[in-house]
Amino acid sequence: MQPITNHLPTAELQALDAAHHMHPFSTQSGFKTKGARVITGAKGVMLRDSEGQEILDAMAGLWCVNIGYGRDELAEVAARQMRELPYYNTFFMTTHVPAIALAKRLADLAPGDLNHVFYAGSGSEANDTNLRMVRTYWAEKGHPNKQIVISRWNAYHGSSVGSGSLGGMKGMHQQGGMPIPGIAHIDQPNWWSEGGDMSPEEFGLERARQLEAKIDELGEDNVAAFIAEPVQGAGGVIVAPDTYWPEISRICRERNILLIADEVICGFGRTGEWFGSQKLNITPDIMTIAKGLSSGYQPIGGSIVSDEVAEVIGNCEFNHGYTYSGHPVASAVALENLRILDEEGIVDRVRNDTGPYLAEKFQSLTDHPMVGEAKIVGMMGSIALTPDKSARAPFEAEAGTVGYMTRERCFANNLIMRHVGDRMIISPPLVISKDEIDTLIDRAWQSLDEGMAAVKDAGLWKAG
Ligand SMILES: *Cc1c(COP(=O)(O)O)cnc(C)c1O
């Protein structure tokens, strides 16, 4: 057996990494001057690096390790499935037990009449499926012009050409010819940064009604669907005002367009319910899933589709699918992950116990002089950094400068917390204990202190 070893010195690993490994969402040349941190192992909520440091992972990897690291059960299931049937496809009238069992489980867990699963290998692939599926749905129903999908600026729906176009990340759109045609964007419900003098409630309605205005502008007969994350994740954990989602739901219903809830982050307990749609009372026609579906132990995603959409799609040959759609090992691991989330009461604990505890502690960060608002739903939260709370002012420095400086202090303090612009975000494993939450908050506070000192030293403590 060829071993995977960690025994090269860190500097050597970093040099090899910089020379040969191209990293996502990174400036590659940067790795030559400052090597990447080499993660060698993990248990529970803690990562270990090649220098022996123990790091609290308040991001659950990339929002995905919901049951925490190091669960042997998933390794056992994967090994057993690989021996039994390591691979077979689900094209051309074939199927296998893991794909069947997982689809049944997901149909039981999903709300309402979302009873049908189309598998993918990731969230990006699943959203590409959705884009083609909603267009095919309307074409099959005799409305071939209903093709445009409306999304939101600063949404994240993946990194493939289709899903990246559905997303609203301007930095992504500037590279490689995105967005593709047939996608329109409206503004996000980010009250802290964009709400001006409006109350959050007024602002929520105003932003929701942009959807109505956009449908009118494009013509209802040309719009297929609206896609949105129940709570925006990669955009900075943006929690919409309470008025937003009821209004969006009304508009989708009245204007006869499909609603796609991108549950890639919100799904599988992150919000304290199985799905963010349940938490926020949304009734989608399609839900995108990935990440927490397998707690990141295997790459798997998919679309959970309503009876009505599945029936229409089922009447045509849908010329779409992936080699790894419903991969047996990934499906078996996902099923075991769902068993653990359920039988260990992890979702209930987020709803009733550790979630409320984290919310209270997280809210206390607004006592820090650099923190404006704190927003949290279940186990995804964000704080807005500001030099002037009452004005909700940004820093004079380019957006993200202060966030980055603070993120660097978190890193130094063995806390993985990300920054999105000048918001700091968390999304810890759902199994985090109260003691570990205390450690998270202590390290965050310490990092905010050090970040603020660095900002002042750099002469950046100025409202822009
Ligand atoms: C991460 C993410 C995706 C993309 O998933 P990948 O597995 O990285 O392709 C899509 N939607 C949301 C909301 C995400 O957070």
- Could you give the domains of the chain? 37-67+347-457 (3.90.1150.10), 73-343 (3.40.640.10)
Q: Along the 464 residues of the chain, how does pLDDT read in single tens digits?
A: 565 566 789 999 999 999 999 999 999 999 989 999 999 999 999 999 999 999 999 999 999 999 999 999 999 999 999 999 999 999 999 999 999 999 999 999 999 999 999 999 999 999 999 999 999 999 999 999 999 999 999 999 999 999 999 999 999 999 999 999 999 999 999 999 999 999 999 999 999 999 999 999 999 999 999 999 999 999 999 999 999 999 999 999 999 999 999 999 999 999 999 999 999 999 999 999 999 999 999 999 999 999 999 999 999 999 999 999 999 999 999 999 999 999 999 999 999 999 999 999 999 999 999 999 999 999 999 999 999 999 999 999 999 999 999 999 999 999 999 999 999 999 999 999 999 999 999 999 999 999 999 999 999 999 98
Task: Count how many Cα atoms sit within 13 Å of the Cα of residue 458 in the half-sphere of its side chain.
Answer: 16
Distance (angstroms) between ligand 1 centre and the Cα of 156 equals 7
Return the structure tokens found at 213: 């205005």
Amino acid at 338: L
What is the rounded distance in angstroms from the CA atom of residue 173 to the CA atom of residue 188? 17
How distant, in Å, are the alpha carbons of 210, 315, 361, 438, 457 from that of 450?
Answer: 40, 60, 19, 18, 10
Given CA atoms 41, 46, 47, 53 in this order, what sign does their dihedral have?
A: negative
Q: Count CB neighbours of 225 within 10 A.
A: 26
First-to-final CA distance of the chain: 58
Query: In a 10 Å sphere around its CB, with 0-12 CB exposed, 13-18 middle and 19+ buried, how is residue 316 labelled?
Result: exposed
d(CA 217, CA 40): 53
Ligand 1 centre to CA of 170 (Å) is: 16
What confidence score (pLDDT) does residue 6 get? 67
Does any ligand 1 atom lie closer than 6 A to the CB of residue 157?
yes
- Candidate from 59, 66, 122, 172 with most ligand 1 atoms within 8 A of CB, to mutate: 122
Q: Which of 63, 64, 124, 163 to mutate to test the pocket of ligand 1 (most atoms within 8 A of CB)?
A: 124
- The number of the ligand 1 atom at minimal distance from the alpha carbon of 266 is 13
Which residues, in sequence order, are bridge partners of residue 288?
262, 303
Q: DSSP 3-state helix, strand, coil percentages of the chain (rounded to 5)?
A: 45, 15, 40
Structure tokens at 21: 């490994």
Return the pLDDT at 464: 86
Q: For 369-431, give the secondary structure using H, E and C.
A: CCEEEEEEECCEEEEEECCECCCCECECCCCCHHHHHHHHHHHHCCEECEEECCEEEECCCCC
What's the burial of 460, exposed, middle or buried (CB within 10 Å: 0-12/13-18/19+)?
middle
Mutational test site, ligand 1, from 59, 62, 128, 156, max ligand atoms within 8 Å of CB: 156
SS3 state at 4: coil
Query: Buried b / exposed e across 125-137, counting CB within 10 Å, b at 16+?
Result: bbbbbbbebbbbb
How far apart are alpha carbons 165 and 168 in whole angstroms? 7
DSSP string, 324-367: TTT-HHHHHHHHHHHHHHHHTTHHHHHHHTHHHHHHHHHHGGGG
